[in-house]
Structure 1
Amino acid sequence: MIRNMLVSGILSVCFFAFSFPLTSYAEQSTHNVQKGESLYSIATDYGISYKQLQAMNNKSNVTIQPGESLQLPVLPSSAEKDLLARLVEAEAKGESYAGKVAVATVVLNRVESSKFPDTLYGVIHDGKQFSPVLNGTIHQPAGEESKKAVQEAVYYQGYDQESLFFYNPDKAQSDYLEDKEVTTVIGNHLFLR
């Protein structure tokens, strides 16, 4: 019996140790261009479109140089997509599909920003940023529309207006956010940078 408990304990530790990545997104957020590479070949290697890679790096053409560092979009794992979809479900319940995409985009933008943690988990659980984390509604399952919105936000990276914040001014007041530039208004939410 003790042997079975020991084996179960070891297996549990191994499961948790290998289920969560040990590297942060920041270590994977750039690609150093090698001789012979093109935007198209790099994008193909990462499973993204070359137009998205071009947009992420503010390139007006496809010219790149060896040694150049290219920013990559956030490429979340399935577990991270689920976490983000649950946040979107709880945070943007009752909002339009476009609003849900925009909420997911803000989180992805924060991962890329030096002002916030460099992982989806870190951004979502960063202090008192999101009420669903504080009130526990983030633990409820996401609906199909929220899952689809997350996927679209992943593909949308590089094409947005770099929003880092959102809030509903009818429900919350923020002196901090009042000084930020409004990038768009969707439904009841203001999106800002």
Structure 2
Amino acid sequence: MPLLKTWTGTLILSVMLSAGAHAEVTISQSNDPTDALDASMTALLGQEHSALGRVSGARLEAIVSPPARKTAKRGKQPVSDATFDEAWIAAQPKATGDDEFQCLAKALYFEARGESIKGQAAVAEVILNRVESSSYPGSICGVVNQSGGGSCQFSFMCDGLAEKVSESGAWDRAAKIARAMLDGAPRELTDGATHFHTNAVRPGWSQRFTQTTRIGAHIFYRQPIVTASN
């Protein structure tokens, strides 16, 4: 489009200059000085029509069409409508998935099914944040099943109870949240938290970590960054 505007402007300027020069010669022969301009314009438009007739349709369309807007390349798009409320959860399809999905859904169900939708999504954030940290296993199942020092990272793994799903509604909800988080729902609830505990306890590590938020019965923390100077 800018090329067409430039071309048109040049054409009009050329017509005006040509008309001006021609008017100096013919003005004494006519009472209407625009006669010369009309004649010059007609001649130039005829030339333009002839020239355009030799341009292919595809080329002409490319000339007059505005340039296509470039869009930045991005990775997987997040689930932008993840409001984590009852209407949102009701709109989600029945969730299924692989072993990683099963491990995440299981953790949400056994560790946080009594929490709100946001509370469960926050626990999912912690697990996924750990997966991305070099301090923890690089898979969801690895994070959920991790143990050490005589204890488990997630209490349901060490409570001695059979991991049997007895509440189908709670499982469906946990599964939908797990699926949404794996599909790219934004992790904006816990500000990068890698730890959490209930209000009923006060573990020693909580004194050293940065508290990021409270959601329901859980308090969330971000692990301090360890540098060489530490």
Question: What TM-score do you get using the length of structure 1 for normalisation?
Answer: 0.58
Q: Secondary structure at the match of 2:212?
A: strand
Aligned counterpart, 1:164: 194
Aligned with residue 181 of structure 1, among 210, 226, 230: 210
Aligned counterpart, 1:139: 163
Tell whether the 8 Å contact from 1:101 to 1:152 is kept in structure 2 after alignment. Answer: no
Unaligned runs of 5+ residues in structure 1 are 1-37, 53-76
> Displacement of 1:169 after TM fit?
2.7
Name the CA shift for 1:176/1:147 in 2 (closer, same or farther; >3 Å).
same
Unaligned runs of 5+ residues in structure 2 are 1-71, 81-96, 223-230
Name the CA shift for 1:50/1:156 in 2 (closer, same or farther; >3 Å).
closer
Aligned counterpart, 1:13: none
> Displacement of 1:191 after TM fit?
0.9
Tell whether the 8 Å contact from 2:100 to 2:139 is kept in structure 1 after alignment. Answer: no
Q: Provide, for residues 131-175 of structure 1, a one-character-per-residue CA deviation record: whole Å limited to 9, x for no partner.
A: 1111255732361110111123232355451110111031x2211
Instruction: Give the letter aligned to residue 220 of structure 2.
Output: F
- In 2, the alpha carbon distance for the partners of 1:117 and 1:159 equals 22
If asked which structure has higher relative contact order (CA below 8 Å, sep 6+), I would say 1
Sequence identity (%): 30
Q: Secondary structure at the match of 1:156?
A: coil
- In 2, the alpha carbon distance for the partners of 1:114 and 1:98 equals 26
Question: What TM-score do you get using the length of structure 2 for normalisation?
Answer: 0.49
> Displacement of 1:78 after TM fit?
1.9
- In 2, the alpha carbon distance for the partners of 1:94 and 1:146 equals 10
- In 2, the alpha carbon distance for the partners of 1:106 and 1:137 equals 23
> Displacement of 1:89 after TM fit?
0.5
Q: CA RMSD in A?
A: 2.6
Tell whether the 8 Å contact from 1:166 to 1:190 is kept in structure 2 after alignment. Answer: yes
Q: Secondary structure at the match of 1:135?
A: coil
Aligned: 1:112 with 2:132: yes
Aligned counterpart, 2:220: 191
Q: Secondary structure at the match of 1:117?
A: coil
Aligned residues: 127
- In 1, the alpha carbon distance for the partners of 2:98 and 2:197 equals 27
Aligned with residue 39 of structure 1, among 59, 73, 92: 73
The structure with more radius of gyration: 2
Aligned counterpart, 2:177: 149
- In 2, the alpha carbon distance for the partners of 1:114 and 1:138 equals 31
Q: Secondary structure at the match of 1:98?
A: helix
